[in-house]
Structure 1
Amino acid sequence: GADRTPGRAGSWDDDAAGGQGARRGPATALAAERARQARIVVVGAVTERWAPEQAVPVHENWRLAPPVGPAADLWAVGVLLFRAVQGHAPYPEESAAELVQLVCSEAPAYAEECGPLRPVVESLMRQDPTERPDFEELRGWLRSLIRSAPEPDVGSSTVTVPSTGPGGASDPRRLPIVRRRGWLVRRGRAAAPVAAHGRHKRGKQTRERRPRRLGRVLLTLILLALAAAVLYAMLFMPKDGEKNGQDRTGTAGSRSDAPSASREPSAGKPSGDGAGSGTSSPDDQQPQSTPPAGLAKGFVVRNDPKGFKVAVDESWTRRGENTRGQIRYVGGDFELLVVAGRDKASEFGADPMAYQQNKEPELAAFRASSWASSSGLRRIDVGRTAMAEGEFSWRDSSGRDVYARNLAMLIGGRYHVVLVIGPADERRAVARYFEQATATYSTTSG
């Protein structure tokens, strides 16, 4: 509880004269806002502890705000049920300040995987505390769900504990051995309680020493393999001078190929006409591939004629620029969408997080979808470059559930967007394509 300090003006627990009708809590709006900020720091990003009536900012008429009562506990029960069934919280929990803002301004995510519990969970997480069910109504709902729930299937997943003796009852003083399905149990150990002669005991001790000997043999083999690898490296690997000579030869060979590659676009024209090559349109050229250096297997860096380079899957094909200034690389059900400096910060603002959530045209389908959720929203500042990253899920116009990773970068006063879209059940593949693309994206023209 809070400290009670008599004679101190403005304290939270000051009693009125005579001790009758005393109001507990902050006495002023400033004190209430300070208490709210302190609670944000202490409680942290825990959705169960932030009902909308607890997270709402303190305004001038803060005494008229809905009181914090049992409805906040019902909110916590609904969020706990959502987290237990869905596997995640209904709001992003990366930042406590962001969580408090989202709880007050946006509705929670849909409890689509809660099954029969969905109406209960969504009613408990309503924004208005007066619209949440009371405890008696909640108890009736839960009782009806329990009564209508099917009985568990007792079959192959049930493991019975055998008795200690053949045909005898189990010993109540002995606890059962907890084993998981699939663990192997040696049958030879089951005969341990049976009395044996002295030679049998000696034979058992001999068998127990075999694993130790096997470990020593394996350790010896590993040491021999390491010694053989060192000898091979010393005898057969090339010297430093030989390696440098080979590198110089390979470099000279690669340089001899560069002029031929640069002359390919000007085939059929005189070699001395250097100004004629500048008349070709960049849209008619195919993006050039750069040899992968430190990339994942199956990826290649593409030098796009629109002034950027990015790593994509080597089997993906490039689509031309559309009317919205988007460059698309498509491969099966996956799509990489790149926008290189189309939108200006002077027109759309200098906050990449606000641009990504409210103004980015590539996420217009997410904002217009009736079923949508976002997570992992964060801002990244590297030097003078500001970036915003997030994960988005929605249902497109064809009824397909899609998952996307988006990165909006503010470079030179313009927004550059890297967006990877794929099926909702292929989140790992989308993340893999997105990480390779964002790790290698850079502009090649001023």
Structure 2
Amino acid sequence: MATDGGSSRVIAGRYRLCARLGRGGMGIVWRAVDEVLGREVAVKELRLDETLSADEARQLRERMLREARIVAGVRHPHVIVVHDVVVEDEQPYIVMEVIDGGSLADRLASQGPVSPAQAARLCLSLLGALRAAHARGVLHRDIKPGNVLLEAGTDRAVLTDFGIAQVAGATTLTEYGAFVGSPEYTAPERMAGGQTGPESDLWSLGVLLCAAVTGESPFHRDSLGGVLHAVVMDEIRPPSAVAPLLPAVHGLLERSPERRIDAVEAERLLSAYVTTGTMPPVPAGYTPAHADVRVAERAAMPVDMPGFPADATPSSVPSATSAAALSEAPVPREPGRRRSRRSALIAVALVVAVAGAGAGAAAFLLDRGQDHDDPPASSAPETTHTTEPPSETSGDPSPGPTVTVTEPGGDGRPKVPAGYRIAQDAEGFSLAVPRAYVRERQAPRVFYVSADDKVRIGIKSTKPVPGGPMAAMRSAAAKGPDNNPGYRDGRVTETTHNGRTAALWEFTWDGFTEKEGARHTLDLTWEEGGRMYDVWVSAPLARKGEAKRHFDTALDTFGVRGGR
């Protein structure tokens, strides 16, 4: 673990920051020592970008303090414990229990899937945490393996990162029109912009249950469009490894939230499996508790979502299914309806989602923060073609969500190289990125990320700073050792970009974790149209050539809405 920037700092007169444990969209988590009580703690520090406006910085501070209040109010053995909240020099810090051990995502990456029994015990722990949170009106909204910590030696599962949680009746400190969460683990009703409740967290738990025994989400695809299609429209075909847990999986991954099993029923099924090794079926005619309330709350939600037949219950799916039969037994389709009509409605639901439904500001946004590929506004002729994410079904040519890829031509801009696409970003710029890269947003940057999460293209638009691009890059480089463990070979060079003064910062560093390994980063900043743009690519050192190619392509094709 790196100690850069930590070992000499003491906050609130008692918490000595010792080693960096991790870094996320809102800041850095440190291993620290409470020098008053003589115990180790974890301290989450909000790191604000100096280019943020005073109002933006204030909102981020309020959001972090809100997270602390939410977590402190949910007391459960499987929810991270908040010890203290301090503010020093206007910077908030959350002091939490330290969990020695990595996340479930780390476990799956290093050791592979767990057994069905282990997965059932894990999800039982998380069900308890969710029931405690839901009882206080708190929805987590981002349940995924990366947000589940596993304590070394005990394997105690701890739910963490309530940064985008929602409290019933509370005003959210998030961006208008944005969608938050991790798309592979997000419930279809959230994708479609419908009102959500505890059942949306239960869908995410069902996806996590599958991921624990297979190594990845059943909705994993190579593009955002593919993920959307899989979550909202594709037949759900649980892998054969999920067979022992099938009743719970089918009950939790019921696309209609009104028909999805609730926490009590999920707990009954998983507990029975842990105790007996066999999971019972969902009772015939099962209706989740308060289903009438669910229906009333979602009266305006898009209807006809695919899932179980209208006259079926989760118990209609066999409770014991062979591996061979699993591949032949997707979630049943609705009888007596034409698939074309349902597909059209689902396409509409996807359009609703892409048009900016939902709320929040975190890793993933759909429109007004979406990676969509609409042709840029221009009087010059352009050639476009459409692609459809591949469906796992066959025989019925029902339409899926359409992604438009733009091949510029006739306007003087470089042609998009093979394997790339133009991303017309909602932040007001466009650029070419590899086709499989997925958009994420961690304020104040927008990222386009490779499927293996190892290569990242980052773009930031801010107000110009005194001294221009060179001053901005020199300031960033001066902080390089603090923000980038193992920082070395850093250099800032004055250059130009499309005739405008620019500054290039290039450096090598060790990544935030030992597993991440040595990385190389290229970063160019320039001013255009009254804004300062910053484009960088970071990749493993062994993929330095690939990173340079993506960097050059991004800069060659970069355009600002209303300008070049």
**Bigger CA radius of gyration:** 1
Higher strand share: 2
TM-score, normalised to structure 2's length? 0.27
Q: Say which structure is richer in helix.
A: 1
Q: TM-score, normalised by structure 1?
A: 0.33
